[in-house]
Structure formats: structure tokens, C-alpha cells
Chains A and B, each alone.
Chain A
Amino acid sequence: MSELVEIRNLTKVYDKKKTALNGLNLTLPRGRIIGLLGPNGSGKTTLIKIMNGLLTPTEGEVLVGGEKPGPVTKAHISYLPERTYLSAGKKVSELLAFFEDFYEDFRPERAREMLASLSIDENAKIKTLSKGTREKVQLILVMSRDADLFVLDEPIAGVDPAARDYIIRTIITNYNENATVLLSTHLISDIENILDEVVFLKEGNLVLQATVEEIREQKGKSVDAYFREVFAC
């Protein structure tokens, strides 16, 4: 089976009023870097949170490697949320030990290498680090796993261009070819070059799933330009 993620009739309604996902059907293959693209409020984060078991769907289901979100899928998904989840009182070294304890696929030597390359002190407490450095520590922890699926929610939003380059480089260097990276963003031009596929979401519905090559060949446009056309206000 080459499909890693299967999403069937997935619906999420918040407070019985706002529909974030509307009967979404989608499959994600293995070994690809996939851009999950859409304007604000299109349902990207909701979809990602359901995949990680942080939200309960109203209807439908998500299967990762044939399993519903749970301890088994969590052992194989490396997730970078859009917010900082690190406990402020912990040291970076304690977080390395924490990840090493819980994730069998965590590679501490890789994490240490990346921390050193960014001159981040392992003995520093998270609360003493700047917001940008905290985000980098979180990215390093997430990308130091040999996971089957990396789910990165807005990894380059709100960071300076140099950090953006570092993040993109980290993603390309650290994932293996059997793994899939699902990357949500609306800063398409920055990541377009590393994407294999894109998924366009609009108001909780699937608008398009295609390879980057297909878009370029069939539409004669870059993904960024096509995105602007599809989601023109």
C-alpha cells in the first residue's frame, strides 16, 4: 500500500455553527513533500490537528498507516504545531532526554548537531530563549526523528528570511525518502521549490490535489501564481 494517509468524509463543525472541514476525502502517498495550501480559515490546521488526535472529528475518519489517531500513529508522526508547546521551565537538554525517552525514532546526535550549528546552548532554559530560538528548538526536536510522517503547521510563518532558509534546508536534509512531509503554509513562493505535490483547501473543501509538475505543465503557471488565481478575492 503506497497510501500513507487516508481521509474519509472528514467533517469538523465547531460549536454547531462553524464548519471547518466539510466531508473531506483525501489520500496522501508515501515519500513525498506535500504542501497543504489554502487561505486563512480554509481548514488546514483543523485537518492537521485531527490527524494528530488533538481534535475529535464531527464525522468521518483519518487513517495513518491504516490506524486511527492513537498511540500507534503518534509513534510514527512527528508534528510541529503552529504554537510553542515546550515547557518554559525546562532546559533544552531535558527536552532532548524527554524526546529520547518517548520516541524510539528520535536521534539525539542529530539534534545536538543542529543545536550546535545554530549555537543554541543545551543548558539554556526555554524561558531564557527568544521566541525565534524556541521555534528553532522545537523544529530541531521534530526534525530529529526518523518518522514516517512529518506534519508541519506553518513552520515558516513569522520568522525572518534567514531562519526561513534554515528551516527549509532542515526539512530537506532531515527527512528520508520513505517519509512524507505534509507542510501547511500560505507563504507558497518560499517553499514551492521543495514541494512534490500540493493540496488546495477552501472553506473546508478540497479544491485541488496535484503534483507541482502537473500544475506547471497544465496551467503554465507556478504554484504560487495558480494559488493566487484560485483564491483571488
Chain B
Amino acid sequence: MLGKLLKHEWREIWKIPAILLGILLVVSVFAGSTFFAPVWDSELSGLGILAMLVWMLYYFAIIGVSIGVTLYLAIHFYKTMFTDEGYLTHTLPVTSHELLLSKILPMMAWQMLATVAILISVAIFGSMAILALHSDGLTFREVYRQIFEVLAEEGFFGNMSLIGFITSMLCAFLAGIVSGAMMIVGSVSIGQMVGKHKVLGSIGAYFAINTVVQILSCIVFVPVVVFKVSNEMPESVFDVLTPCYFGMSVLAILVSVGLYFLSEYLIRRKLNLD
């Protein structure tokens, strides 16, 4: 049944996030193309202002897409689980685990796609800027080849501290995807326990969980940093940041697992649709 649930869930949600990500990529190309225009050499001062406005638009597009995708997924989850549509959702012959996973997995997939799309758009924007401003006649491929050469010369690829740091960043990114989805699911599920103000309850729960996670992060990180610095002077900043990011990942996963089981319990044992 999980496969069927996932199929229908994906079909229902893919359009809006895909459109948002498409818009972001178009805006990034548009913003990047301003570097090819004779913006700064032109006697028309309006051109410079126009270019800056386009860059601002790009900046807001990144933020808008990031928030927009999360908000859309949160509203969709709330709508299909706890409003009139929930009457169909909760009368399907499926377990609460299957139901939750069918919501959480596409949510994670879209959050990951959104992050990747943002990285691609930054790469497009940055590459276009480099091509236009610093590398007369270079191609995209040559720009990236040169970047890799510089990184290799600086000992980037053999630096174990740096590799460890990047691995920890990657873990934190994946854990962030998981916890991002679980924060939505957890807070909306907890919000349903709040009498008549369920939406307000969900928003309150989101900020409450966030605050608790922040406090826990401080409790974990401060001793790690103090221990690292007081025992021996770290060789680089990565030696301090790497354990912090790994710690952050473990904490995010633990909170996510907790929120998953809490949400499943609330849906299975405490469901009360209006």
C-alpha cells in the first residue's frame, strides 16, 4: 500500500514545487545575464540600478523558493490529513506508518530537490558572473577546470581536515532534510491537539520544537568547542567545526525520530477530525 500511497502523493504535489524551482532557474539565468550587459560602463545610470534590482529579485527568488516549497508541503500535509480531505485519507485501509511515510518521503525528496536547485542556480549565476567579468572568451568548462586546478594547488583534495569537514557538512545537509520534513509533520500533528486553534497550535508547536532544538544544540556544542580548544590548540577551524556538524546531524536525526513516533502515536491514537 505504501507504493500506491507514494504514487498518488507524488502525482498530487509535484507541480507547484516544480514550477517554483523552474522559476528560480529562469531568474538565475536572467540575473546572471545582466553581467554581460554593459551595465557599469554605460552612461545611463539607470542600467546599474536595474541590474541591482534584478540581483535583488534573484536573492528574493532563492528565499522565496526555499520558504515557498516548505510552506506548500506543510499546507498540503495539513489539508490532506486534518481538514475535509482527511475524511478520505483516514478511511483508507492503510496503517498510520504507511500514511505518514507517504507524506514524509516526498516531502524530503522535494526539500532535497529545492536545495540542489538552489545550488545549481547559484552555480549558474556565479559562472555567468565569472565568464562575463574575468574570463574573456572562456567557456563554462574551462572556468570550472581552472577552479579545480586552483583548489588542487592549494592542497584542497589531500587535506583530511577539509574532507572531514565537507563530509560533516554533507551529513548535516542530509540530516537537515530529514529534520525539515519531520518538523513540519511533527508540529502540524501536535497542533491538532490544540482545541479549535489548530493552525495556531501548529505554528506554536513549530517554534517550540525549534527553540528546544536550539537549546539542545547549545548544550551539545559548547562543551565540544571548549574541550577541543582547551585540550590542544586545533590546527584549523575545521577541527572544531567538523565535530560540531556531526553532533548537529546526530541531534537532528534523534529529534526527527522522536517526532516521527510522536506523530504516528497522535494520528493512530488521538485523531479527532472536526
**Interface of A with B (CB < 8 Å)?**
15, 49, 52-56, 70-72, 74-75, 77, 79, 81, 83-87, 89-90, 98, 101-103
Task: Please give, as numbers and ranges, the residues of chain B lying within 8 Å of A15 by CB-CB distance.
Answer: 195
The reply to whether B93 and A85 contact each other, CB–CB distance below 8 Å, is: no
Task: Please give, as numbers and ranges, the residues of chain B lying within 8 Å of A86 by CB-CB distance.
Answer: 85, 88
B90: Cβ under 8 A from any A Cβ = yes
* Complex Cα gap A87–B87 (Å): 11
The reply to whether B84 and A85 contact each other, CB–CB distance below 8 Å, is: yes
Cross-chain pairs A/B with CB under 8 angstroms, 16 sampled:
A15-B195, A54-B90, A54-B91, A54-B271, A54-B272, A74-B91, A74-B93, A77-B91, A79-B87, A81-B87, A83-B84, A83-B87, A85-B84, A85-B87, A101-B8, A103-B93
Task: Please give, as numbers and ranges, the residues of chain A lying within 8 Å of B195 by CB-CB distance.
Answer: 15
The reply to whether A56 and B91 contact each other, CB–CB distance below 8 Å, is: no
Known: A71-B95, A83-B84. A53 touches B90 (CB 8 A): yes
How far apart are B166's CB and chain A's nearest CB, in angstroms? 41
The reply to whether B91 and A53 contact each other, CB–CB distance below 8 Å, is: yes
Known: A15-B195, A55-B272, A55-B273. A102 touches B1 (CB 8 A): yes
Q: Mark B60-88, 1 if CB is under 8 A from A, else 0.
A: 00000000000000000000100011111
How far apart are B175's CB and chain A's nearest CB, in angstroms? 31
Give the residue name and chain of the B residue nearest to A79 (CB). B91
How far apart are B194's CB and chain A's nearest CB, in angstroms? 11
Interface residue tally on B, bucketed by range: 20 to 34
Known: A15-B195, A79-B91, A102-B4. A87 touches B271 (CB 8 A): no
The reply to whether A72 and B93 contact each other, CB–CB distance below 8 Å, is: yes
* Complex Cα gap A98–B85 (Å): 14
The reply to whether A85 and B272 contact each other, CB–CB distance below 8 Å, is: no
Task: Please give, as numbers and ranges, the residues of chain A lying within 8 Å of B1 by CB-CB distance.
Answer: 102
The reply to whether A71 and B94 contact each other, CB–CB distance below 8 Å, is: yes
Q: Report which of A54, A56, A71 forms a contact with B93, defined as CB distance below 8 A.
A: A71
How far apart are B158's CB and chain A's nearest CB, in angstroms? 53
Restricting to B227-274, which residues have a CB under 8 Å from any CB of A? Answer: 269-273
Task: Please give, as numbers and ranges, the residues of chain B lying within 8 Å of A85 by CB-CB distance.
Answer: 84-88
B18: Cβ under 8 A from any A Cβ = no
* Complex Cα gap A89–B79 (Å): 13
Task: Please give, as numbers and ranges, the residues of chain A lying within 8 Å of B273 by CB-CB distance.
Answer: 49, 54-55
* Complex Cα gap A110–B272 (Å): 33
User: 4 new A-B pairs (CB below 8 Å) besides A15-B195, A56-B271, A74-B92?
Assistant: A54-B90, A54-B273, A55-B271, A55-B273
* Chain B contact residues: helix, strand, loop or mixed: loop
Give the residue name and chain of the B residue nearest to A101 (CB). B4
Give the residue name and chain of the A residue nearest to B5 (CB). A102
Restricting to B1-27, which residues have a CB under 8 Å from any CB of A? Answer: 1, 4, 7-8, 12
The reply to whether B12 and A87 contact each other, CB–CB distance below 8 Å, is: yes
* Complex Cα gap A72–B217 (Å): 42
Give the residue name and chain of the B residue nearest to A138 (CB). B88
Q: Report which of A54, A56, A103 forms a contact with B87, defined as CB distance below 8 A.
A: A54
Task: Please give, as numbers and ranges, the residues of chain B lying within 8 Å of A87 by CB-CB distance.
Answer: 12, 80, 85
* Complex Cα gap A102–B1 (Å): 8
Give the residue name and chain of the B residue nearest to A86 (CB). B88
The reply to whether A102 and B93 contact each other, CB–CB distance below 8 Å, is: yes
The reply to whether A56 and B272 contact each other, CB–CB distance below 8 Å, is: yes
Task: Please give, as numbers and ranges, the residues of chain A lying within 8 Å of B272 by CB-CB distance.
Answer: 54-56
Task: Please give, as numbers and ranges, the residues of chain B lying within 8 Å of A75 by CB-CB distance.
Answer: 93
Give the residue name and chain of the B residue nearest to A90 (CB). B12
The reply to whether A102 and B90 contact each other, CB–CB distance below 8 Å, is: no
* Complex Cα gap A123–B232 (Å): 70
Task: Please give, as numbers and ranges, the residues of chain A lying within 8 Å of B12 by CB-CB distance.
Answer: 87, 89-90
* Complex Cα gap A102–B3 (Å): 11
How far apart are B226's CB and chain A's nearest CB, in angstroms? 47
Give the residue name and chain of the B residue nearest to A74 (CB). B93
* Complex Cα gap A36–B90 (Å): 22
Q: Mark B92-123, 1 if CB is under 8 A from A, else 0.
A: 11110000000000000000000000000000
Task: Please give, as numbers and ranges, the residues of chain A lying within 8 Å of B92 by CB-CB distance.
Answer: 74, 102
How far apart are A53's CB and chain B's nearest CB, in angstroms? 6
* Complex Cα gap A204–B20 (Å): 50
The reply to whether B271 and A53 contact each other, CB–CB distance below 8 Å, is: yes
How far apart are B88's CB and chain A's nearest CB, in angstroms? 4
Task: Please give, as numbers and ranges, the residues of chain B lying within 8 Å of A74 by CB-CB distance.
Answer: 91-94
Task: Please give, as numbers and ranges, the residues of chain A lying within 8 Å of B8 by CB-CB distance.
Answer: 98, 101
